[in-house]
Amino acid sequence: MKVGVIGCGTMGSGIAQVASTANCQVVLYDLSEDALVKSENSLAKVMGRLVEKGRLTDESALAIKNRITYSTALDDMKGANLVIEAIVENLEVKHKVFQSLEAIVSDECILASNTSSLSITSLAACLQKPERFIGVHFFNPAPLMKLVEIIPAVQTSAEVLQKTQETIDSWKKVTVKVKDTPGFIVNKVARPFYSEAIKMYEEGTADFATIDWAMKEIGGFRMGPFELMDFIGHDVNYVVTETVFKAFYYDGRYKPSFTQKRLSEAGYLGRKSGRGFYNYAEGAINPEPTTDPVLGDYIVDRIVAMLINEAADTLHVNIASAKDIDLAMQNGVNYPKGLLAWADEKGLPYCVSVMDELFDEYHEERYRCSPILRKLGKNNATFL
Ligand SMILES: NC(=O)c1ccc[n+]([C@@H]2O[C@H](COP(=O)([O-])OP(=O)(O)OC[C@H]3O[C@@H](n4cnc5c(N)ncnc54)[C@H](O)[C@@H]3O)[C@@H](O)[C@H]2O)c1
């Protein structure tokens, strides 16, 4: 199979590695010669490390490298069965690339975008054959993160959906099918992990070190919300929140926070700038958590209930199946459990009561309990 990858930045380089590791012939195209050289050098380093660790033999590392051709000529996409685009997040630029591409590839070639925030349907609309278009959303770093969200546009044919999902499954990824809605599954369902943590911090319920401690030690999450926001970068994390908020017609559930906006304005972007919520300078003193189990339970219960409610609502409006929502959160952001399975374990009436108590306290839209959670809770039913 010949796979084209457009854009050799963070995501394109990773996707090319994944496809080549799965024995595909890959053409990696970029406008920038420098970017291509950087991508090739970085793959060589990654392969070297994998050989050193004994995860790959010299021969297979060489074969993976040799199956990728680096190119600045879009014409080299000729003969591709699948082309995945991972260039700048700009609708007009992506439209131009796909229109040029459609004149080069065969009618059977599937065209896909790795976009995080643009509508797949609006991208498909620029094509002569929009039914061949689909979203394939990898996570960073693509070679390590198992999840790929597969997003058919309104125009995508059933055959293209099936073929794409089969192909990405054969690359040893966990695929989930998602309706073309803002944030798909992961970037939508994960919003409360950050926003509810920031809200508690702003209101002085607990400081960020305590919230991080609770979510890790009691909740079982790999990273606390503040550590994770510092890791992602406040500029990036804030923009995702704002994009989802706007795209859902300003639904109060996704309201961004001034605290995070101010951090990005200050250039306190997190790890990458040496300072975010935490200070990463050598010898810097960071706050110690208050390891109070009662407070810790309250924090975890509140954030997890909000996450469960968001997952339930995602199911309620048929964005994805219950199984796929759980798979997505476990494989896309490494949550310790699927959120709907977690809801079943806690008991749905309990989850409803946490949401209702928060709503009684705040009377804010963000705390409205999802109808499906309430309905199943009333019948003592479960999600899975
Ligand atoms: N970075 C992430 O964590 C992440 C995760 C999932 C999806 N995405 C999505 O993947 C896409 C790429 O993101 P990234 O972080 O890899 O970007 P990046 O900035 O690292 O890389 C983009 C690459 O595209 C090239 N490029 C720009 N315009 C081009 C054009 N017209 N033709 C050919 N090449 C062009 C640039 O030279 C650059 O090498 C975006 O749509 C983004 O939303 C990013």
Q: CA of 281: how far to CAs of 233, 234, 235, 276, in Å?
A: 16, 17, 19, 11
254, two tokens: 């996704």
Q: Is the CB of 74 under 6 A from ligand 1?
A: no
**Dihedral angle, C-alpha 210, 347, 351, 311, nearest 10 °:** 90
Is pLDDT larger for residue 236 or for residue 296? 296
- Quick one: average pLDDT of 227-236? 94
Q: How far is the CA of 170 from the centre of ligand 1 (A)?
A: 24
Question: Rounded to an integer, what distance in angstroms lies between the CA atom of residue 326 and that of residue 335?
Answer: 9
Residue 331's pLDDT band, with cuts at 50, 70 and 90, is: very high
For residue 138, give the ligand 1 atom closest to its CA: 6
**Residue among 43, 37, 35 at smallest CA distance from 15:** 43
Q: Is the CB of 349 under 6 A from ligand 1?
A: no
Question: Rounded to an integer, what distance in angstroms lies between the CA atom of residue 208 and that of residue 230?
Answer: 11
The CATH number that domain 2-177 falls under is 3.40.50.720
pTM of the model: 0.96
Question: Rounded to an integer, what distance in angstroms lies between the CA atom of residue 118 and that of residue 273?
Answer: 27
Q: Is the CB of 306 under 6 A from ligand 1?
A: no
For residue 12, give the ligand 1 atom closest to its CA: 16
Q: Concatenated DSSP letters for 36-63?
A: HHHHHHHHHHHHHHHHHTTSS-HHHHHH
CB 233 within 8 A of CB 268: no
92-121 pLDDT, tens per residue? Answer: 999 999 999 999 999 999 999 999 999 999
Pocket test for ligand 1, best of 34, 88, 117, 150 (most atoms within 8 A of CB): 88
Q: What angle in degrees, to the nearest 10, is found between the helix axes of 258-266 and 191-202?
A: 90
* Residue whose CA lies nearest to ligand 1 atom number 41: 115
Question: Rounded to an integer, what distance in angstroms lies between the CA atom of residue 83 and that of residue 77?
Answer: 8
Question: Rounded to an integer, what distance in angstroms lies between the CA atom of residue 244 and that of residue 254?
Answer: 7
268, two tokens: 């306190």
Q: Is the CB of 332 under 6 A from ligand 1?
A: no
Asked, as a colleague might, if the bond just before 141 is cis with ω within 30 of 0, I would say: yes
Place of tokens 């010898």: 283
- The pLDDT assigned to 324 comes to 98
Helix intervals (H) in the chain: 10-21, 33-52, 58-66, 91-102, 120-124, 158-170, 186-189, 191-202, 208-213, 225-232, 234-247, 258-266, 293-316, 322-332, 339-346, 348-362, 371-378
* Helix (H) / strand (E) containing 4: strand 2-6
17, two tokens: 């590695």
Residue 85's pLDDT band, with cuts at 50, 70 and 90, is: very high
Count CB-CB contacts under 10 A for residue 379: 9
Question: Rounded to an integer, what distance in angstroms lies between the CA atom of residue 166 and that of residue 85?
Answer: 19
Q: Is the CB of 8 under 6 A from ligand 1?
A: yes
Concerning whether 116 is annotated as a catalytic residue, the answer is: yes
- What are the sequence ranges of the domains in the chain? 2-177, 188-378
Place of tokens 């109808």: 371
CATH architecture of 188-378: Orthogonal Bundle (1.10)
Burial category of 303 from C-beta neighbours within 10 Å (exposed 0-12, middle 13-18, buried 19 and up): buried
CB 320 within 8 A of CB 172: no
Q: Is the CB of 141 under 6 A from ligand 1?
A: no
- The pLDDT assigned to 2 comes to 98
- The pLDDT assigned to 43 comes to 98
Q: How far is the CA of 115 from the centre of ligand 1 (A)?
A: 8
CB 150 within 8 A of CB 164: yes
Question: Rounded to an integer, what distance in angstroms lies between the CA atom of residue 139 and that of residue 251?
Answer: 26
Q: Concatenated DSSP letters for 272-319?
A: GGTBSSSB-STT---PPP---HHHHHHHHHHHHHHHHHHHHHHHHTTS
245-303 pLDDT, tens per residue? Answer: 999 999 999 999 999 999 999 999 999 999 999 999 999 999 999 999 999 999 999 99
Pocket test for ligand 1, best of 33, 87, 95, 120 (most atoms within 8 A of CB): 87
- The pLDDT assigned to 221 comes to 98
Give bridge partners of residue 148 from the DSSP assignment: 138, 175
Computed over every residue of the chain, the mean pLDDT equals 97
